[in-house]
Amino acid sequence: MGKTLMDFALARAVELGRSWAWLGVWEKNTAAIGFYRRMGFREAGTHTFHMGGEIQTDYIMRRDIIGA
């Protein structure tokens, strides 16, 4: 299901003339990170945020999509 949804989102982005897509994923969510890498996304930075009493880090992942 995840691949189907991602394919749809990327196709829609192409229809809208976008040249890249980005997303944020928690650094400890290794299953999601693996999926996004398989979908062609690569780490482009990080973002910290507060969750309850903790400071957590998201990876910002990016993928070029024009011509994909």
Residues with a catalytic annotation lie at 36
Separation in Å, CA 63 to CA 9, 21, 49, 51, 53: 12, 5, 23, 27, 32
Q: Give the alpha-carbon dihedral of 29, 51, 21, 64, to 10 degrees.
A: -50
CB 58 within 8 A of CB 49: yes
